[in-house]
Amino acid sequence: MFEILEKEILTKEPVIFRMVVKAPRVAAACEPGQFLIVRANSDGERVPLTICDYDRAAGTVEIVVQVIGAETDKMSRLEKGEGFADVVGPLGQASDLVTEDLEELKKKKILFVAGGVGTAPVYPQAKWLHEHGITPDVIIGAKNKDLVIMEDKFKSVCNLTITTDDGSYGRSGMVTVALQDLWNEGTRWDHCVAIGPMIMMKFVCKLTKELGIHTIVSMNPIMVDGTGMCGACRLTVDGKVKFACVDGPEFDGHLVDFDQAMSRMKLYRTEEGRLYLKEKEGATHHGNCGNCN
pLDDT at position 248 is: 80
Residue 115 CA: distances (Å) to CA of 140, 186, 249, 288: 6, 23, 16, 29
- The larger pLDDT score, comparing residue 120 to residue 262, is at 120
For the stretch 208-226, pLDDT in tens is 999 999 999 998 877 766 6
- Average pLDDT, stretch 82-96? 91
Least confident of 49-53, 158-162, 173-177, 247-251: 247-251
Q: What is the pLDDT of residue 263?
A: 80
Q: Tell me, what's the pLDDT at 292?
A: 42
The pLDDT-based confidence of 13 (bands split at 50, 70, 90) is confident
Question: What number is the average pLDDT over the span 23-43?
Answer: 92
Q: How large a percentage of the chain has pLDDT more than 70?
A: 90
Q: What is the pLDDT of residue 267?
A: 64
Q: In this structure, are residues 19 and 74 in contact, taking their beta carbons and an 8 Å threshold?
A: no
Asked if residue 281 has pLDDT above 70, the reply is no
pLDDT band at 243 (very low <50, low <70, confident <90, very high): confident
- Is pLDDT of 258 > 80? yes
- The better pLDDT of the pair 258, 293 is held by 258
Task: Evaluate if pTM is beyond 0.75.
Answer: yes
Q: Concatenated DSSP letters for the chain?
A: -EEEEEEEEEEETTEEEEEEEE-HHHHHH--TT-EEEEESSTTSPPEEEE--EEETTTTEEEEEEE--SHHHHHHHT--TT-EESEEEEEESPPPGGGTS-HHHHTTS-EEEEEEGGGHHHHHHHHHHHHHTT---EEEEEESSGGG---HHHHHTTSEEEEEETTSSSSEES-HHHHHHHHHHTT---SEEEEES-HHHHHHHHHHHHHHT-EEEEE-GGG-SSSSSSS-TTEEEETTEEEEHHHH-SEEEGGGB-HHHHHHHHHHHTSHHHHHHHHHHHGGGS-SSSSS--
pLDDT at 253: 94
DSSP bridge pairs for 57: none
Angle between helices 198-211 and 258-268 (to 10 degrees): 180
For residue 291, is pLDDT > 50?
Answer: no
Region 62-78: mean pLDDT is 91
What is residue 280's predicted lDDT score, i.e. its pLDDT? 63
pLDDT for 208: 98
- Kindly report, residue by residue over 104-144, the tens digit of the pLDDT: 999 999 999 999 889 999 999 999 999 999 999 999 999 99
Q: How many CA atoms lie within 13 A of 198 on its CB side?
A: 19
For the chain, percent of residues with pLDDT exceeding 90: 66
The full set of domains in the chain, from first to last, is: 2-90 (2.40.30.10), 101-217 (3.40.50.80), 219-293 (no CATH)
**How does pLDDT run across 102-112, given as a tens digit for each residue?**
999 999 999 99
Q: Is the pLDDT of residue 73 over 70?
A: yes
